[in-house]
Amino acid sequence: MNFVIEHLSKRFELKTVLRDIDFTFQEGKIYGLLGRNGAGKTTLFNCLNRDMKADGGTFYLEEDGVRRDVAAEDIGYVLSTPTVPEFLTGREFLKFFLDINRASIQSPKSLDEYFDWMSIAPEDRDKLLKDYSHGMKNKMQMLVNIIAQPKILLLDEPLTSLDVVVAEEMKQLLRSLKDGRITLFSTHILDLALDLCDEIVLLSHGTLEVVEKSNLDDREFKERIIAALKEETYA
């Protein structure tokens, strides 16, 4: 499976944020999306998730050489600022999510197994989500997106607010989930991108470009990435 973007563009008044993006993402890989502040990473994710209408271009999935539209259930999107229904408890939210997606979830676990998986303590499971910390809300958002097993997982700086232990567990989880799907992971933490991702992709001057590691060692690779990011003058 490939996820293909062709000629995607988006501008806000005078500012062109996405400039005729052409890119093919391949199944089984985690892509680290790097870009300066304001480069357009969230805008790209919003357009791919169809939360925002692009000005032009298209994107589709290619499976066994057959092209098809991306359906809403093909995409999981974890926002950098978690949005959860604050008036529900963690358990109610999870139960509601499992109930409405029952048909599409393969081998569902019990609610407590899912909470254990995310290291959400038993005493927090029946608390209202409005009283969850930022990191705990983030975990809940990550959980519901992972359970749904989407073909494309868009993660907008998802590990930044997690404690080091959970962030490490989440990295393991994302690695274990990468087969059969395409994971796009935006972050400002270069070491995290290098540690977790199979490819580093820069969003710079409104376009996407892979940074080839070729025979560079890690230090030289980092220097190449930073030098390329520095060229984004209007960030």
Ligand X SMILES: Nc1ncnc2c1ncn2[C@@H]1O[C@H](COP(=O)(O)OP(=O)(O)OP(=O)(O)O)[C@@H](O)[C@H]1O
Residue from 38, 56, 108, 180 touching ligand X (CB under 6 A): that is 38
Cα distance between residue 73 and residue 225, in whole Å = 33
Report the alpha-carbon distance of residue 143 to residue 135 in Å, rounded.
12
87 binds ligand X (CB under 6 A): no
Tell me which of 5, 21, 31, 41 binds ligand X, using CB under 6 A: 41
Nearest approach in angstroms of CB 235 to ligand X is: 8
Check if the beta carbon of residue 1 is closer than 8 Å to that of residue 23.
no
Smallest distance from the beta carbon of 189 to ligand X, in angstroms?
12
Question: Is the separation of the CB atoms in 114 and 93 below 8 Å?
Answer: no
Q: Using the rule CB under 6 A, is 82 a contact of ligand X?
A: no
Q: Which is nearer to ligand X, 105 or 226 (CB)?
A: 226
Q: What residues between 4 and 23 interact with ligand X by CB under 6 A?
A: 12, 15, 17
CB of 156 to ligand X, least distance (A): 7
- Between residues 15 and 109, which has the closer beta carbon with respect to ligand X? 15
| CB distance 104 to 180 below 8 Å | no
For residues 89 and 95, give the distance between their C-alpha atoms in angstroms, rounded to a whole number. Answer: 10
Is residue 35 at the binding interface for ligand X, with CB under 6 A as the rule?
Answer: yes
* The residue type at 150: P
Site membership for ligand X, residue 37 (CB under 6 A): yes
- Minimum CB separation of residue 41 from ligand X in Å reads 4
Axis crossing angle, helix 134-147 with helix 90-100, rounded to the nearest 10: 20
Q: Considering only the stretches 37-45, 98-106, 122-130, 205-213, report the one whose residues sit in contact with ligand X under the rule CB under 6 A.
A: 37-45
Number of H helices, E strands in the chain: 7, 10
Interface residue with ligand X among 40, 90, 150, 206 (CB under 6 A) is 40
Q: What is the dihedral of CA 101, 107, 110, 115, to 10 degrees?
A: -80
| Cβ-based neighbours of 220, under 8 Å, separated by 6 or more | none
The nearest distance, CB 47 to ligand X, in angstroms, is 9
Taking CB under 6 A as the binding criterion, the range among 23-31, 41-49, 130-138, 139-147 that sits at the site for ligand X is 41-49
- For every residue of 95-118, DSSP letters joined together read HHHHHHTGGG-SS---HHHHHHHT
Instruction: Please report, as ranges, the residues that interact with ligand X according to CB under 6 A.
Output: 12, 15, 17, 35, 37-43
